[in-house]
């Protein structure tokens, strides 16, 4: 899985600031905090199963019994303080009631993860609510719920999960009814139902539970929809009503090609950035994402969206078009792209594979300009955009020089100076601890002829030559013409810094100074996707401990820290 936190999963209505406890290291147990961070409430020793409004209430002791007694079980893992969990609750109860009234084999259940942390750890719960579907008492391989979070969506997804992967259409009436049954449906037109492509089609249908699939070999249905060869057709109630993937007669249906066809075409031409759509954006098969920042309260927004939509039709499958209403709670996205509300409407583009951003070069947001911008990025004719604050008038007034993106190269790569730079984040606890030492270091070398002590806020400034993976990051730029960069990886104290600088940027001998283990455990976003998720979990749970009574949801709690992860990993969702 590519490095995308979802937070664009991604994740993601970030609102009020919060300080995690001491801003301490955020590595540790992958899914849950240490035992001393929990109030252990495991008093129930019976395996009896109770119900609340038709929903089974599960705990560590009765979970296995629930799996044994129920062939199909959807389990919500929640936290009592979580706003999203509270919003889901009435929909979940309604879905449970509908299934119970139908005497369905499917049961709905819930687990309070704060009380029953063992279950949260076992199933690697990293956000709330998380829904997992258990089939045939299989505890080892539950299925992630990917449907809509409302009663209708839950029931539909569950029935689709236990039913046949495809529906056979034997008449035009059946086809019309099926095609109008959902916003997106897929029909496989096959002359021979024993064709090998049918098996491939059925495998994909079995994997993608959130979309309805059907197949037909009925000649009248073929004629009705203008099909003449074996074809996979997507029918939608928006944008293009019918999109075809014609199957090669010799090669047959390719599974990867079919999956790409579905991922590409199931999206609207323009996807609005919302919490519900984050997963779609995360899973979209497009490396280039173009974002239109608009204010929906203005009169011009409809025309701007139409211009954007017309351009999107040209780049379907190449560029994902996303609109963001800046009146919503998306400050983290604005900050990530260095967009101010007074700049709106405006456009940015990001390549999520190469982790590069591009700024719209035109004043007018016309369809033609948008198309030209997309094509220029694809062709490599647009320079990468790096965000930067304006250069402060007094940036070199104090002993510690203040760098921003715009003056970084001029100072750091000055051939006559040896420059030691701290890349920091204002919210980072380690950076705050280092601050007085860094000021002392600046004071010590303020009159030195060729040593400069500097700092740069990496949450507001980007430097192409220095990718940031953790805070604080310290780099040494020696005085020469080769633009060398030396990593500082030993203790962060005044004496060691002094020795390092006086030695011309050479690391002190390991026997002379303690290696800074903390430097390996800073507020860091691990390169591994799973570790990224663990990082979010640790921050989240630490924040929950301090602010649970005031929080509306997890994302609101962890805003500053998650913003840092977004900035580090180049994710906007």
Percent residues over pLDDT 90 in the chain: 66
Q: Between 196-207 and 255-265, two packed helices, what is the crossing angle to 10 degrees?
A: 50
Which of 6, 374, 428, 544 is an active site residue? 428
Q: 6 an active-site residue?
A: no
Res 482 pLDDT > 50: yes
Res 202 pLDDT > 60: yes
DSSP string, 439-501: HHHHHHHTT-SSEEEEEEETTT---TT----EESEEEEE-SSSS---EE--S--SHHHHHHHH
Report which secondary-structure segment, H or E, holds 523: strand 523-524
Dig out the tokens for 542 from the structure: 């630490």
Pairing, β 231-236 against β 242-246:
antiparallel
Q: 82 an active-site residue?
A: yes
Question: pLDDT at position 91, please?
Answer: 96
Across the beta sheet with 72-78, the strand order is 50-52, 55-58, 106-112, 72-78, 130-135, 143-144
Dig out the tokens for 250 from the structure: 């010799």
Question: pLDDT at position 506, please?
Answer: 87
Mean pLDDT of 210-215: 93
In which residue are the tokens 């919210």 written?
427
CA distance 57 to 110: 5
Among 168-177, 442-451, 502-511, 546-555, the range scoring the smallest mean pLDDT is 546-555
Dig out the tokens for 495 from the structure: 């004496």
Eight-state DSSP code of residue 390: P
Name residues whose C-beta falls within 8 Å of residue 334's C-beta, 6 or more positions apart in sequence: 293, 326, 340, 341
Name residues whose C-beta falls within 8 Å of residue 19's C-beta, 6 or more positions apart in sequence: 427, 560
Nearest CA-CA partner of 556 in 568, 548, 566: 548
Taking a C-beta distance cutoff of 8 angstroms, is the pair 76, 133 a contact? no
**For residues 512-532, b (16+ Cβ closer than 10 Å) or e, as one string?**
ebeebeebeebbbbbeeeeeb
Question: pLDDT at position 425, please?
Answer: 94
Dig out the tokens for 398 from the structure: 């104090």
Question: pLDDT at position 564, please?
Answer: 38
Dig out the tokens for 74 from the structure: 């959807």
Mean pLDDT of 169-177: 97
pLDDT tier, 477 (very low <50, low <70, confident <90, very high otherwise): very high
Question: pLDDT at position 45, please?
Answer: 63
Dig out the tokens for 364 from the structure: 């007018």
Nearest CA-CA partner of 424 in 288, 506, 550, 522: 522
Mean pLDDT of 268-290: 84
Backbone φ, ψ for residue 411 (5° rounding): -85, -50
Taking a C-beta distance cutoff of 8 angstroms, is the pair 16, 559 a contact? yes
Mean pLDDT of 530-545: 40
CA distance 245 to 200: 14
Question: pLDDT at position 42, please?
Answer: 45
CA distance 283 to 118: 30
Q: In whole numbers, what is the pLDDT of the chain averaged over residues?
A: 83
Which of 6, 82, 374, 544 is an active site residue? 82
Coarse DSSP helix, strand, coil percentages of the chain, rounded to the nearest 5 percent: 35, 20, 45
pLDDT tier, 473 (very low <50, low <70, confident <90, very high otherwise): very high
Mean pLDDT of 105-122: 95
Three-state secondary structure call for residue 375: helix
Domains of the chain (ranges, CATH numbers):
12-149+276-386 (3.40.30.10), 167-265 (3.40.30.10), 400-463+473-520 (3.40.30.10)
Question: pLDDT at position 572, please?
Answer: 66
Dig out the tokens for 387 from the structure: 């965000």
DSSP string, 98-116: HHHHTT-SEEEEEEETTT-
CA distance 134 to 543: 31
- Which pLDDT tens digit goes with each residue over 19-75? 333 333 332 233 333 344 344 444 546 789 999 999 999 999 999 999 999 999 999
Question: pLDDT at position 98, please?
Answer: 95
Report which secondary-structure segment, H or E, holds 302: helix 301-314
Among 191-205, 276-290, 299-313, 431-445, the range scoring the smallest mean pLDDT is 276-290
pLDDT tier, 550 (very low <50, low <70, confident <90, very high otherwise): very low
Which of 6, 85, 374, 544 is an active site residue? 85
Three-state secondary structure call for residue 416: coil
Res 552 pLDDT > 80: no
Eight-state DSSP code of residue 260: H
Report which secondary-structure segment, H or E, holds 293: strand 288-294
Dig out the tokens for 248 from the structure: 């090669």
Question: pLDDT at position 285, please?
Answer: 72
Nearest CA-CA partner of 67 in 10, 119, 13, 29: 119
Taking a C-beta distance cutoff of 8 angstroms, is the pair 278, 9 a contact? yes
CA distance 225 to 214: 14
- Which pLDDT tens digit goes with each residue over 498-528? 999 999 998 756 544 444 444 444 444 333 3
Res 294 pLDDT > 70: yes
CA distance 53 to 55: 6
Mean pLDDT of 173-179: 97
DSSP string, 157-190: HHHHHHS-S-EE--SHHHHHHHHTSSSEEEEEE-
CA distance 518 to 491: 8
Among 93-97, 323-327, 406-410, 504-508, the range scoring the smallest mean pLDDT is 504-508
Question: pLDDT at position 148, please?
Answer: 84
Dig out the tokens for 327 from the structure: 């009146």
Q: 544 an active-site residue?
A: no
- 108 conformational bin, left if phi > 0, alpha if psi -120 to 50, beta if neither: beta
Eight-state DSSP code of residue 508: P
CA distance 263 to 14: 27
| N- to C-terminal Cα separation, the chain | 15
CA distance 30 to 329: 28
Q: 374 an active-site residue?
A: no
Question: pLDDT at position 509, please?
Answer: 61
Counting runs of H as helices and runs of E as strands, what totals does the chain give?
Answer: 18, 23
Question: pLDDT at position 573, please?
Answer: 59
Which residue spans within 184-230 are E strands per DSSP? 184-189, 212-216
pLDDT tier, 571 (very low <50, low <70, confident <90, very high otherwise): low
Which of 5, 6, 374, 431 is an active site residue? 431
Mean pLDDT of 422-443: 96
Rounded (10°) CA dihedral 285, 290, 293, 294? -80
């Amino acid at each position: 899985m590519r490095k995308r936190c979802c937070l664009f999963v991604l994740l993601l209505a970030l609102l009020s600031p919060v300080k995690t406890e001491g801003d301490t290291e955020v590595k540790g147990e992958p899914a849950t905090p240490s035992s001393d961070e929990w109030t252990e409430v495991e008093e129930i020793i019976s395996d009896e199963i109770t119900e609340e409004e038709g929903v089974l209430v599960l705990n560590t002791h009765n979970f296995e019994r629930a799996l044994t007694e129920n062939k199909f079980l959807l389990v919500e893992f929640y936290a009592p303080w979580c706003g999203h969990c509270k919003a889901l609750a009435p929909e979940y109860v309604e879905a449970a009631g509908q299934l119970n009234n139908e005497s369905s084999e499917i049961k709905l259940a819930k687990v309070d993860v704060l009380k029953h942390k063992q279950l949260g750890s076992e199933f690697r719960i990293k956000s709330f609510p998380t829904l997992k579907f258990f089939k045939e008492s299989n505890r080892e391989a539950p299925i992630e719920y990917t449907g809509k979070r409302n009663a209708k969506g839950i029931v539909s997804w569950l029935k689709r999960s236990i039913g046949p992967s495809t529906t056979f259409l034997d008449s035009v009436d059946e086809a019309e009814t099926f095609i109008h049954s959902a916003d997106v449906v897929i029909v496989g037109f096959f002359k021979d139902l024993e064709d090998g492509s049918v098996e491939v089609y059925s495998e994909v249908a079995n994997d993608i539970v959130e979309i309805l699939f059907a197949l037909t070999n009925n000649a009248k249905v073929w004629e009705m929809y203008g099909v003449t060869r074996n074809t996979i057709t997507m029918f939608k109630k928006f944008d293009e009503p019918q999109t075809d993937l014609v199957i090669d007669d010799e090669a047959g249906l390719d599974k990867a090609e079919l999956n790409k066809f579905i991922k590409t075409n199931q999206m609207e031409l323009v996807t609005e950035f919302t919490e519900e759509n984050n997963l779609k954006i995360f899973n979209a098969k497009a490396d280039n994402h173009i974002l239109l920042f608009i204010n929906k309260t203005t009169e011009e927004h409809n025309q701007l969206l139409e211009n954007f939509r017309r351009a999107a039709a040209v780049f379907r499958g190449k560029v994902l078009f996303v609109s963001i209403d800046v009146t919503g709670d998306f400050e983290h996205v604005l900050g990530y792209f260095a967009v101010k509300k007074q700049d709106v409407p405006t456009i940015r583009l990001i390549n999520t594979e190469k982790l590069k951003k591009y700024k719209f070069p035109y004043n007018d947001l016309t369809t033609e300009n948008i198309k030209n911008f997309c094509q220029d990025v694809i062709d490599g004719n647009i320079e990468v955009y790096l965000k930067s604050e304006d250069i402060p008038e007094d940036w070199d007034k104090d002993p510690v020089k203040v760098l921003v993106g715009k003056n970084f190269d001029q100072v750091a790569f000055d051939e006559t100076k040896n420059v030691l730079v701290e890349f920091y984040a204002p919210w980072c606890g380690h950076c705050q601890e280092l601050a007085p030492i860094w000021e002392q270091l600046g004071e010590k070398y303020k009159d030195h002829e060729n040593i400069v002590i500097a700092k740069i806020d990496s949450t507001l400034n980007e430097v192409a030559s220095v990718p940031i993976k953790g805070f604080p990051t310290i780099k040494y730029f020696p005085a020469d013409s080769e633009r060398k960069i030396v990593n500082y990886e030993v203790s962060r104290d005044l004496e060691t810094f002094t020795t390092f600088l006086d030695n011309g940027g050479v690391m002190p001998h390991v026997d002379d100074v303690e290696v800074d283990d903390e430097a390996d455990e800073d507020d860091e976003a691990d390169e591994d996707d799973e570790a990224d998720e663990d990082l979010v979990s640790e921050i989240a749970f630490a924040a929950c401990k301090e602010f649970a009574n005031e929080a509306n949801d997890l994302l609101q709690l962890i805003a500053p820290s998650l913003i840092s992860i977004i900035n580090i990993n180049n994710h906007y969702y």
